[in-house]
Amino acid sequence: MLISHTNPRWLVSTLLKHCNTSPVYRGFSTSCAWTSKKKTSPYGAVDTERYSSLVKAVVSRVSSQTPSSLEEEDAKLYGPIVKSKASLHKSAPVVPKNVHPIMNEGKTTLAAEYNLEKPARLLLPKGSERSAVPSVTRILKQTMSPEQLFYLERWKRRMIAELGEEGFQAYSANLFEQGKLFHAALERALVSSDAHEDTEHNEDTAGYLESVQHVLDDISEVRAIESAVQHHHLSYVGIVDCVARYRGALCAIDWKTSEKSKPFLHNTFDNPIQVAAYVGALNSDGNYSYQIKNGLIVVAYKDGSPAHPHFLDFEKVTQYWGKWLLRLQIYLEKK
């Protein structure tokens, strides 16, 4: 039998029909090839006519089954298909009830005069006036999601299991004290490079200062340090770590310390919401004659590793401002 260019389906069918009767050239590789001594094969008794439709379906480029035939077959095997009704109530994005702008129309966004040698450092109100107005930190802590609370509690239990109850309390107190010393050292570095630094502060903060040095090189026009801000319309207060220009952009800056690397913005958890809250409060506060649109989170490391600066442009600040309004709403509803 000579093989020529012809229809592939005819070829396969012919091979199956003549598999047991026609000799095959030794150079042609096929499962039906044999030597001079004929061997009995269990496949020799196959009724090729019976499976001709299967062969045609395999070699055909177009499937012999259609969606309707497949659906009928599935119905016989698994029962009729039960189609669920589409939900009439689609989950809408959660938006705050009280949508308040982050910018203050009564203020200018132009650069106002500032005292280079004496940045603003306003104090929070005291007494009954202070207790009646919640802080940004308190609001964020009391409106943490169940997932955030779960991971925070799990971390706390692990630390207690490793350090013990008293050891964990000492560890937490030490972290808080290091944070205070770091902020004090930053203030001296930002206000005056010739300021006296005592040995204790150098030892405790040297690594952190080395970590943020490349960021400090890009900081200029320091306008406020550890200064209170208050949003009179939304009734909350906070203390912004620093207001200065970072690479030319006026920002609310938040300095953070961490034992773990935080190279991405999402690693900072609620910090972007906190910065957005400070931006909105400063823009609302009449004690500041200017407005800001940007934020900066700087994560410093004790071992001196280069800090990770996370810059928030106005688009991102506005995004997190919406999340802040939601957290503020949840806090007020809980009260």
Q: Give just the sign of the alpha carbon dihedral 206, 260, 245, 116.
A: negative
Q: Is 74 a catalytic residue?
A: no
The β-bridge partners of 240 are 227
Q: Within 13 Å, how many C-alpha atoms sit on residue 243's CB side? A: 29
Q: How far apart are CA 115 and CA 158, in angstroms?
A: 48
| Burial class of residue 14 (count of CB atoms within 10 Å of its CB; 0-12, 13-18, 19+) | middle
Contact 117, 221 (CB under 8 A): no
Phi/psi-derived region of residue 312, left when phi > 0, alpha when psi is between -120 and 50, beta in every other case: beta
Q: How far apart are CA 296 and CA 310, in angstroms?
A: 6
Helix axes 165-191, 146-163, angle to 10 degrees: 110
Q: Is 256 a catalytic residue?
A: yes
Exactly one of 74, 126, 198, 256 is catalytic; which is it?
Answer: 256
Exactly one of 37, 107, 194, 254 is catalytic; which is it?
Answer: 254
Three-state SS at 53 = helix
DSSP state of 267: G
Exactly one of 39, 83, 180, 241 is catalytic; which is it?
Answer: 241
Question: Sheet containing 236-246: which strands, arranged edge to edge?
Answer: 219-231, 236-246, 249-257, 294-300, 308-312
DSSP state of 120: B
CA–CA distance from 309 to each of 1, 117, 257, 263, 329 (Å)? 78, 25, 12, 8, 30
Q: Is 156 a catalytic residue?
A: no
Which structure tokens are listed for 235? Answer: 């009734």
Angle ∠(108,111,115) on CA atoms, nearest 5: 120
Task: List, by residue number, the catalytic residues.
Answer: 241, 254, 256
